[in-house]
Amino acid sequence: MQAAEKYPFIFSDEPRYRFRRHLAFWVFWWLFQGVLYSVIGYNGKPVYGLRLIDSILESLAYMTTHIALSYALMYFVIPRYLLKQKYLLTVLWVFLCFLGAAVLSVIISITVIPEIQRLVLRDDFNNYLRVRASTRIHLSLMAGLRGGITIGGIAASIKLMKHWYVKEQRNLQLQKENAEAQLQLLKAQVHPHFLFNTLNNIYSHTQNTAPVASQLVMGLSDMLRFILYECNQPLVPLSKELKMIRDYISLEQIRYDDQLDVHVDLPDNTDNLGIAPLLLLPLVENCFKHGTSHMIEQPWLNLEVHIENNRMYVKLLNGKSNTVNHNNCKGIGISNVRKRLDLLYPGKHAFTITDEEDVFIVDLWLALDYMPLTQKESAPFKLAYHG
């Protein structure tokens, strides 16, 4: 069970839960501050009841500073600089945030606080104001924060702890899903040698008598070998992943008896870039499952992949019948691709789907990692072709 489902009040991003926990946090801090400062330096005058009311109202006024400071740290400094390991800029922005909070506190202490004291303390206002006036000027930049440093630190700590907890939960979820995938893979690996030997025998018998069937068997054998033996690694060579896509499309072309209009443009050179295995196959498979297989006339598919530095850009289009509701973008395959991208490439991808009346469009860019040189293939394939 995910953290957001188990503890929705703490971790859920739904607006109702976020509003409740933020409201509870600030109400608690407001009342805590009000009670705390009502007893600090209290000497019996004015009456404590009036002092408590005055302190609570003052704390409410200073809440503007505390909220501004805390949210600036939580939603600006931490995600933009600290989590991106820009430590010098983090220190600079933290200093500027606290300086700004101090200045705002001074403004509040000069303009708002005297009016609150005049309203609540009345007869005791002049005496009480004289006691505080001596400290307001020369300590205003620090003391005027009224707990701003404390609450800013608490808010930032909560934000960081929540971030690291959610990240750890995501890692655990990924490990669990990988373990489940490996289990399914093990279940599928029942006597693989027997399977490949049988396929090789079929290929040998059909090579002369049924060349089309022989081609199908060889393509299927290559795909199964890649899936069973090479996809148990975190990364596979991009060239092999693209070759499998080409083999899959070739098999589908044979199934369509060459009535399928295919345009595929894949890069000649993929360097030694690696990609999570079987990440692209569901996208292509989805085109055949929900698009071309339902078209009565002129089924078509267009796939373009190009590399810029370590970024891969994929554009996939396929025609579809406008008389059938296929829900292309709601299938299990697409959902799994979205999940894997979020887990494996957080902040390093963009994945958009456009489901129009007669065409289905997938746009994906992905920042890929380089594989160790020992795993680099000696000669890349020629992967660009037109069907």
pLDDT at 306: 92
For 164-193, how does the pLDDT look when each residue is reduced to its tens digit (9 = 90+)? 887 887 788 777 777 777 666 655 555 555
pLDDT at 98: 87
pLDDT at 386: 36
Find out whether 318 and 359 touch, Cβ atoms under 8 Å.
yes
Q: Can you give the C-alpha Rg of the chain in angstroms?
A: 32
pLDDT at 348: 92
pLDDT at 332: 65
DSSP 269-337: --TTEEE-TTSSHHHHHHHHHHTGGG-SS--EEEEEEEEETTEEEEEEEEE--TTS---GGGSHHHHHH
Residue 302 and residue 290: Cα distance in Å, rounded?
15
> What's the average model confidence in pLDDT over 310-318?
92
pLDDT at 4: 59
Which domains, from first to last, does the chain contain? 3-167 (no CATH), 231-386 (3.30.565.10)
> What's the average model confidence in pLDDT over 28-51?
77
Token readout for 243 is: 């070759």
| The most confident of 84-88, 224-228, 321-325, by mean pLDDT | 84-88
| The most confident of 47-56, 145-154, 298-307, by mean pLDDT | 298-307
pLDDT at 384: 35
> What's the average model confidence in pLDDT over 265-279?
87
Share of the chain above pLDDT 90, in %: 13
The number of helix segments (H) and strand segments (E) in the chain equals 14, 9
Residue of 367, 357, 264 whose CA lies nearest to 316: 264
For 321-369, how does the pLDDT look when each residue is reduced to its tens digit (9 = 90+)? 665 555 555 556 788 888 888 888 988 999 999 888 778 899 999 999 8
The answer for 187, left when phi > 0, alpha when psi is -120 to 50, beta otherwise, is alpha
How high does pLDDT run on average in the chain?
77
pLDDT at 91: 93
Least confident of 83-92, 144-153, 262-271: 144-153
For 189-223, how does the pLDDT look when each residue is reduced to its tens digit (9 = 90+)? 555 555 666 677 777 767 777 777 777 777 777 77
Find out whether 12 and 18 touch, Cβ atoms under 8 Å.
yes
Find out whether 328 and 362 touch, Cβ atoms under 8 Å.
no
User: Is the pTM here over 0.85, yes or no?
Assistant: no
Handedness of CA 221, 225, 226, 228 (dihedral sign): positive
For 11-29, how does the pLDDT look when each residue is reduced to its tens digit (9 = 90+)? 777 888 888 889 999 999 8
From residue 355, how far is each of 166, 186, 270, 317, 331 by CA, in Å?
Answer: 32, 36, 30, 10, 13
Confidence of residue 380 (pLDDT cuts 50, 70, 90): very low
Reading across the β-sheet that carries 236-237, which strands appear in turn?
236-237, 273-275, 369-370
pLDDT at 258: 65
> What's the average model confidence in pLDDT over 244-264?
80
Find out whether 114 and 129 touch, Cβ atoms under 8 Å.
yes
Phi–psi pair at 69, nearest 5 degrees: -65, -45
Per the model's pLDDT, the better-predicted residue between 182 and 96 turns out to be 96
User: Taking 80 as the threshold, does the pLDDT of residue 66 lie above it?
Assistant: yes
Residue of 331, 22, 265, 42 whose CA lies nearest to 159: 22
Confidence of residue 130 (pLDDT cuts 50, 70, 90): very low
pLDDT at 298: 72
